[in-house]
Every structure is written in C-alpha cells, then in structure tokens.
Amino acid sequence: MEKLIEILEEIESGVDYENCTTLVDDNYLDSLAIISLVAEIEEEFDVQIPTVEIIPSNFNSAKALWELIERLKEEE
C-alpha cells in the first residue's frame, strides 16, 4: 500500500490519499491521471487492469485501488 501511495503522490501531490474516498468524484484524478496510474500500477505490481475495472468505484480511494490490485493478483 505504501508504494501505491507513492505512485499516487507522483501523479497528484497534496492529497490525503490515506483518508480521501472521492478521488475521482472530486476530480483529484482525471482521465489522464487515471491512464498514468493504470500504467504505473501495472508495471509496479505486475498486474493487468482490464478496461471493465477502470470505473470510479475502483479509483475513488487508495483503499479501493489496493483492493483491486490484491484481487487481480489473486486471479492470476
């Protein structure tokens, strides 16, 4: 989770990623940031994020993102 927070900070700094649950809803992460984030996550955590998983509920918080990463790792 710590590495995920670091990746998020690189994309958009100054956000309380550990507590924010509205990253997409409040436009902290826009579509370009999400594309960058997907690429970084796939490289760092060796997972593939299917297009169907790129939905606001999976990207609205660091916790939701971490749960997505964990689920994708288990499915491999």
pLDDT tens-digit map of 33-47: 999 999 999 999 999
User: Is the CB of residue 53 less than 8 Å from the CB of residue 68?
Assistant: yes
- pLDDT of 20 > 90? The answer is yes
User: Is the CB of residue 60 less than 8 Å from the CB of residue 25?
Assistant: yes
Taking the C-alpha atoms of residue 15 and residue 68, their distance in angstroms, rounded to an integer, is 20
Q: What is the CATH number of the domain that holds 45?
A: 1.10.1200.10
What's the pTM?
0.93
Supply angle C-alpha 9, 10, 11, rounded to 5: 90
Domain count, the chain: 1
% the chain with pLDDT above 70 = 100
User: Is the CB of residue 44 less than 8 Å from the CB of residue 3?
Assistant: yes
State which residues form the domain around 29: 2-75
% the chain with pLDDT above 90 = 99
| pLDDT band at 76; cut points 50, 70, 90 | confident
- pLDDT of 13 > 90? The answer is yes
